[in-house]
Amino acid sequence: MIKKLYLPLLMAMIVALSSCSKKMGELSSDYFTTTPQVLEAVGGKVPVTINGKFPEKYFNKKAVVEVTPVLKWDGGQVKGQPAVFQGEKVEGNDQTISYKMGGNYTMKTSFDYVPEMAKSELYLEFNAKIGDKTVAIPAVKIADGVISTSELINNTLNNANTALGEDAFQRIIKDAHQANIMFLIQQANLRASELKSAGMKDFHNQVAEVNAAENKKISNIEISAYASPDGATDLNTDLAEKREANTNKYLSKELKKAKVNAVVDAKYTAEDWEGFQELVSKSNIQDKELILRVLSMYQDPEQREREIKNISSVYKNLADDILPQLRRSRLTLNYEIIGKSDEEIAKLADADASKLSLEEILYAATLTNDNAKKAAIYTKATQQFPNDYRAYNNLGALAFQAGDVTKAESFLSKAASLKAAPEVSMNQGLLALAKGDKTAAETYLGKAAGAKQINETLGNLYVAQGQYDRAVNAFGDSKTNSAALAQILAKDYNKAKSTLANVAKPDAYTDYLMAILGARTNNVSMLTSSLKSAIQKDSSLAKKAAKDLEFAKYVTNADFLSIIK
């Protein structure tokens, strides 16, 4: 009897154990998909969504399974956020998987990008237990590698446009010198006391000095004659006209005597309400606001005069202090100061910069395309004018473009200590991006409003943050490697091709981006010719291309292999 019972029981146990083993055995990679299908670095992270499935009659009702995504590469690995699942007979708060029906699940995780991930594999590792017993479930490979094109932002920054502290040099500076001839009330004759006044003597001396100077030129002399806005309009018109005529006659005579050939433009204003309003506004006269309100309310000159005379408390003050200043002829000498030629400035910048003003030295740097000469000129500017931030900023910009981060940081820090200028903050933002500090870059760029290149630099930041559409908008029509990179990442391939074709100073990464564009658009000729040019300029790109998943489908292409070998 015992033997009869023993045999069926033994068979049942074998079947049960066999069944348990099958339920928690190896899982096929067919049960898993990832989004994206090929992992991609975005904003310094490698995000991935994993969709998995436990098949029917697989998940033991008493099992607890922890699933961990692990990204592995030669010499390292990193684990993502795990998820835990439980069988139907387990009491817990994790997702329950049906034994009979199986179950689907979604996991999201993100890894901090490191360059070694370019050649890597994504696995799922399982830690399974049934009761107190550990069950072995082999790890499953579910994806290959990481596309790291977005990380090229670190290589394209040197091609970015920096912000210069611009010079204020003007070759021709317009200037003017004025003098007034004052008249008595209702008179137009020129008084000797006025013609011999210090102001008129100074005016004539200025005319003679400008006329004789080699670097100055008289444009014209203006005569503006006025009558004060009191009295009848007809009387004031006649008075202002006579004052203009008398002044013009006097000035023409004096210019002829001094042998000065200058154009004289004369005009008159019958009633100088504009001058009246200006003088009242600047005065401390009683009821000033009331007078100004009258001027704003009435446009008819006679009504204005009546209303102001009605303010009897102040009219005497107006008659004594304001109106006499409006009975005048104003003489204005308009002239140009002509600066040094480009040739003169360039020679002095090289031979004797001490003879140049600050603006001239800064301008001299714009006359050469040789960065070494630019740096030498800016250095002289810092020596002669150590308290101006612009030369330090511009030296920092040059160092940044040359890839010398340490020198750039030193110059920009000095510039910032002299003035918190927008262009300095913008360059410091670029520098922070180059060092991989996106938080600091964002802070600096928040202080850079007004810098000419701020939108382009924000575009670089947005690429680094993984905001590709926003980056494309920020770059606008900029023709830089970074702008093209943003367009490639946003899949605007036509615009990217146009941008790369118009980069002002194309380098190895200009060609490398064009090669990526060729790979993405199945243009093998563009891919191979551009990659060949890139590697000729920078041989290290051959090794990069060999691992770059952008070129994964071309690894058996003979031309591709010959280029990267």
Q: Residue 265 forms beta bridges with which residues?
A: 222
CA torsion sign, 431 to 437 to 438 to 441? negative
304-347 pLDDT per residue, tens? 888 777 776 677 888 888 889 999 999 999 999 999 999 999 99
Residue 5 has pLDDT above 50, yes or no: no
**Residue 1's pLDDT band (boundaries 50, 70, 90)?**
very low
Specify the higher pLDDT residue, 2 or 113.
113
Give the pLDDT confidence score for residue 4 in this predicted structure.
40
252-309 pLDDT per residue, tens? 999 999 999 999 999 999 888 888 888 888 888 888 788 888 888 888 878 888 877 7
Give the pLDDT confidence score for residue 2 in this predicted structure.
36
**Residue 8's pLDDT band (boundaries 50, 70, 90)?**
very low
Give the pLDDT confidence score for residue 302 in this predicted structure.
80
Instruction: Please compute the mean of the pLDDT values over residues 445-456 and round it to a whole number.
Output: 94
Residue 22 has pLDDT above 50, yes or no: no
CA distance 472 to 463: 9
Instruction: Please compute the mean of the pLDDT values over residues 431-453 and round it to a whole number.
Output: 94
CA distance 490 to 496: 10
Instruction: Please compute the mean of the pLDDT values over residues 80-91 and round it to a whole number.
Output: 95
Residue 522 has pLDDT above 90, yes or no: yes
Residue 12 has pLDDT above 80, yes or no: no
Q: In three state form, how does the secondary structure of 3-60 look?
A: HHHHHHHHHHHHHHHHHHHHHCCCCCHHHEEEECCCEECECCEEEEEEEEEECCCCCC
Report which DSSP code applies to 318: I
- Which residues, in sequence order, are CB contacts of 190 under 8 Å at separation 6+? 181, 246, 247, 250
- C-alpha to C-alpha distances, 384 to 219, 355, 381, 423, nearest whole angstrom: 34, 10, 5, 22
**Residue 18's pLDDT band (boundaries 50, 70, 90)?**
very low
Mean pLDDT of the chain: 91
141-188 pLDDT per residue, tens? 999 989 999 999 999 988 889 999 999 999 999 999 999 999 999 999
Give the pLDDT confidence score for residue 312 in this predicted structure.
60
CA distance 503 to 561: 28
Q: In three state form, how does the secondary structure of 214-229 look?
A: CCEEEEEEEEEEECCC
User: What percentage of the chain carries pLDDT values higher than 90?
Assistant: 81
378-388 pLDDT per residue, tens? 999 999 999 99
Specify the higher pLDDT residue, 302 or 479.
479
Instruction: Please compute the mean of the pLDDT values over residues 78-105 and round it to a whole number.
Output: 95
Give the pLDDT confidence score for residue 498 in this predicted structure.
97
CA distance 156 to 328: 65
**Residue 69's pLDDT band (boundaries 50, 70, 90)?**
very high
Give the pLDDT confidence score for residue 307 in this predicted structure.
78
Give the pLDDT confidence score for residue 474 in this predicted structure.
96
Give the pLDDT confidence score for residue 290 in this predicted structure.
82
